[in-house]
Amino acid sequence: MKPSHTVNTDPFSAMLRRTRLAAIVRGSDADAALRTVLALLDEGVALVEVSLNTTDALGVIRRAVAEAGPAARVGAGTVLTEDEVARAREAGATWIVTPALSESVAASVRAGLPVLAGALTPTEAVAARRAGADAVKLFPASLGGPSYLKALRDPFPDLPLVPVGGVDLTSAGQYLAYGAVAVGVGSPLVGDAAHGGDLDALRVRARRYVTACAAVPEGERA
């Protein structure tokens, strides 16, 4: 992948709504995880999160940013503490994802980093926004499925929701049709690539997800 020399200045929330897709990379092989991140970026997945429980996650983020250039939007995921926010920022992460409402949400806001904060219930989702989250990571989305997201949007039509957890190619379109601003996809998209698996198959899946998510532009929802 050739580094880009064009800095991407889109605000995170606008980019999330425009691209409709964030990939989640979690793997046991640091070199394979790096190759996975770069392949996803190369195939048009503009937002890629590297979970901190990936082997040498901060190193993967640092190397991905150096390789892909300033246009890349590489984030850090599974971020729980203020220290993890600081270290992720130092490594070059430009956005933060949390699995829950932890101290990392406020720390990200103070650091000026966009944050996708994990929540499940209506109370948690509202609290996440009040804490300064740019969007709410509905997690685990598989617990209620697309119908649960649709039910949440009835009382909270303006709440920016990003379902994560068990989102496959079929349900991605359903979530977006029901009002999700984007979807976060891990293993159904990444497969075994971040563990040293098939990178060519990953590229095929990435193109399918990019196409499927783009097919439901914001504003054209059920």
Asked if 205 and 189 count as a contact pair (C-beta separation under 8 A), the reply is yes
Phi first, then psi, for residue 31 (nearest 5°) are: -65, -40
| Rounded Cα distance, 57 and 94, in Å | 14
Nearest to 205 by CA among 74, 39, 49: 39
High-pLDDT (> 90) share of the chain, %: 90
**What is the pLDDT, as a whole number, of residue 217?**
72
| Rounded Cα distance, 31 and 18, in Å | 30
Among 43, 49, 84, 150, the one annotated catalytic: 49
Q: How confident is the model at residue 74 (pLDDT cuts 50, 70, 90)?
A: very high
**Pairs from 124-132 (Cβ < 8 Å, separation ≥ 24):** 125/152, 125/156, 125/159, 125/161, 126/156, 126/159, 127/101, 128/101, 129/159, 131/101, 131/105, 131/106, 132/105, 132/106, 132/108
Nearest to 163 by CA among 196, 148, 112: 148
Asked if 119 and 138 count as a contact pair (C-beta separation under 8 A), the reply is yes
Q: Is position 137 annotated as part of the catalytic site?
A: yes
pTM above threshold 0.85: yes
Number of CB atoms found within 10 A of residue 37's CB? 31
Asked if 85 and 95 count as a contact pair (C-beta separation under 8 A), the reply is no
| Rounded Cα distance, 101 and 20, in Å | 23
Asked if 60 and 28 count as a contact pair (C-beta separation under 8 A), the reply is no
Q: Is position 220 annotated as part of the catalytic site?
A: no
Bridge partners, 22 (sequence order): 47, 184
Among 137, 150, 218, 220, the one annotated catalytic: 137
State pLDDT tens for residues 21-61.
999 999 999 999 999 999 999 999 999 999 999 999 999 99
In the chain, the amino acid numbered 51 is S
**What is the pLDDT, as a whole number, of residue 219?**
53
